[in-house]
Structure 1
Amino acid sequence: MRYHHVDVFTTQPYSGNSLAVFPDAGALRGRQMAHITRELRHFESIFLTQDGPVWSARVFDLLDELDFAGHPVIGAAGVLHALHSTADEQTWTLRLKARTVRVTTRRHEPGRYAGRLDQGSASFLGRPEVAGILSSFSLHPDDLTPGLPPEVVSTGLRYLVLPIRGEALSRARIIADLTEPLAAVGAQFAYLLDVAAMEGRHWNNDGVVEDVATGSGAGCAAAFLRRHGRIGDGEPTTLSQGRFTGRPSTMTIAAHGQGEDIESVEVGGDVVLIGEGSLRELPQ
């Protein structure tokens, strides 16, 4: 079983968010995919099966299978371009559990690609009281950005976007598991967003592992920023993440629409192909 090791949201090898891509995983069961992901220890792995012009994709992190994810889809599209296209630009259709998406990739040079993921429309699912959740981040309501209410947003996964200001981003630490508090407000995850600096942070809900760059969260941040007029209609904006993990990453985000009617959200970034490998044995 062959796989590819890629770094996403960076132009430099051994930076950005690493990923294992299995381009021909039709023989694997979900339980095996989860086991392989834990063995390889990337934040996420993606497993592909071709179905005509569409690629079915299953994404796993170290804990569970995800209905949707950004950086694995963009990284997988870069691998597909390397394996299956000689064109400078190519569009790929990937079917995940939450939705089917299109990713356009462009070849810069051998082993270097750029991907742009259209996550589709955004849904705004409420503006909850967040004092308790902030305390789980070692933050308090004064750390919120004035005039920007925390909001649950979805482009496939439901994120509570917490707009914070100043040095609060560097002080944030998860000190209590967020799973149940987030579920109580209709969210699956939380994304901290320093709007002034255009920088984000995200962890697993238990706080044990910090994500390097979160494409699904960045899409929700783009929709949030557009709804509140902080970015223009369709205007590409750079969002940074990963500084605190030692793997700085850059994502390009954009959102099309007005108010709650955000019809399309895009997240893009570079992909670097690092290496290839094969598993001699598969888990049972």
Structure 2
Amino acid sequence: MKVFHVDAFTDEKFSGNPAGVVPEALTLTKAQMQQIARELNLSETAFLIPTTNGNADFRILYFTPQTEVDFCGHATLAAAWIIATETEWKKESVHFETNIGIVPVEFKYEDQNLLRAYMTQAKPKTKEINIDIDELASILGLQKTDFDQTLPIKLASTGNWHLLVPVKTRKGIDNAVPNFSLLKKHNENQNIITTHLFTFDCDIEGCLLYTRDFAPAVGVDEDPFTGSANGALAGYLALEQLGQVNTTSYSIAQGHIVGRPGYCHVRIEHIGNQPTVKIGGVAVKTISGFVHL
């Protein structure tokens, strides 16, 4: 069975966030999908199967090495990239049926070369969380003074719930040394997929925000680049009208501290008071081959 290893949110091999893609997974059981995801040992592997939904082109399932998750941004980008570059797909978009609904991905071409793909994420939502700041600082290996208390710590979702933690400086984010055992229990108790640190103190050219993401509750201590969490962050900033975001177009950097720098481009489109979050990026195939069952 054909399988690909794709570095997402980067145009350089061995950067960004690697995802597995199995483009023809019809005959696989979920137990086999979980085994393959564990064998590939990437943060997520995407499996494509036929769909009966008339609004979608494929059904897509996502597995970490430990469990199935409802949505994964970088694996969605990776799967769309494989469809556009490794198959005879001629359309300018592909629609995935996921556990959170239909996720469209638009392809942007120049001279028949694929430049970028934009995924439209689920309707952004935020909600309050009662949290002990001192306890959170201890769990994340930060000082209480590292938090940017001009911005609220909140839960946000464009498909998965993430805990968004504003930090004053990039140095503060890079210095975080989480206690992953405690963070795993905390995230499980709050039904959180990841804890996402972000700052506007970003010295990376062309980028407004710098982030870092921890997901021990689903078996991934640190994710190099997180399309769903950065989408949730973009939705949070748009809904709450917070921080320095006074534009509908900007870029986010992540993964530099773990040696896998990645970038996404955010587009916010408004229909009335409701923002729609589109996360754009590029990807590069690094491995292709077969898994033998």
Q: Check whether the contact 1:148–1:228 (CA below 8 A) recurs between aligned residues.
A: no
User: For residue 55 of structure 1, what is the aligned residue in structure 2?
Assistant: 58
Say yes or no: does 1:240 pair with 2:253: yes
Q: Which residue, 210, 222, 232 being the options, matches 1:199?
A: 210
Alignment of 1:39-188 (within 5 A): 39-51=39-51, 53-82=56-85, 83-86=87-90, 90-107=92-109, 113-131=115-133, 132-166=135-169, 167-175=171-179, 176-185=181-190, 187-188=192-193
Tell me the secondary structure at the aligned position of residue 202 of structure 1: strand
Gaps of 5+ in 1: none
CA RMSD of aligned residues (A): 2.3
Judge conservation of contact 1:111–1:272 (CA < 8 Å) in 2. no
Alignment of 1:266-277 (within 5 A): 266-277=278-289
Contact map agreement 1:113 1:271 (CA 8 A) in 2:
no
Q: CA deviation at 1:256?
A: 3.6
1:90-133 deviation digits (Å, cap 9, x = unpaired): 11110111222100123468886521010031111214324222
Question: How far apart in 2 are the matches of 1:104 and 1:257?
Answer: 18
Residue 54 (structure 1) shift: 2.0
Distance in 1 of aligned mates of 2:15 and 2:63? 21
Matched letter for residue 170 of structure 1: D
| Cα distance in 1, alignment partners of residues 187 and 62 from structure 2 | 22
Instruction: Report the Cα distance in structure 2 between the residues aligned to 1:271 and 1:109, rounded to whole angstroms.
Output: 18
- Contact 1:2 1:276 survives alignment (8 Å): yes
Give 2:265's aligned residue: 252
Number of aligned positions between the proteins: 277
Q: Give the Cα–Cα distance (whole angstroms) in 2 for the partners of residues 218 and 45 of structure 1.
A: 19
| SS at 2:7 equivalent | strand
**Residues 178-187 or 263-272, more deviating:** 178-187
Contact 1:112 1:272 in 2 (8 A): no
For each residue in 1:171-190, what CA deviation from the matched residue of structure 2 results, as whole angstroms up to 9, or x when unmatched? 11111432332344453321
SS at match of 2:149: coil
Q: Secondary structure at the match of 1:177?
A: helix
Q: 2:206 is matched with which residue?
A: none
- The aligned counterpart of 2:14 is 14
Contact 1:93 1:102 (8 Å CA) reproduced: yes
1:145/1:164 contact within 8 Å kept? yes
Q: 1:255 touches 1:262 (CA, 8 Å); kept in 2?
A: no
Which stretch shows the higher mean deviation, 170-179 or 16-25? Answer: 170-179
Q: Is the 8 A contact 1:103 1:115 kept in 2?
A: yes
Greater displacement, 45-54 / 113-122? 45-54
Equivalent AA in structure 2 for residue 217 of structure 1: A
In the alignment, structure 2 segments of 5+ residues that lack a partner are 203-208
TM-score (norm 1): 0.89
2:232 to 189, 213, 220: 220
CA offset digits 1:141-192 (Å, max 9, x no partner): 3211131010100111000100001221011111143233234445332101
- CA pair 255-141 structure 1, distance change in 2 beyond 3 A: farther
The answer (yes or no) to whether the contact 1:114–1:270 under 8 Å persists in 2 is yes
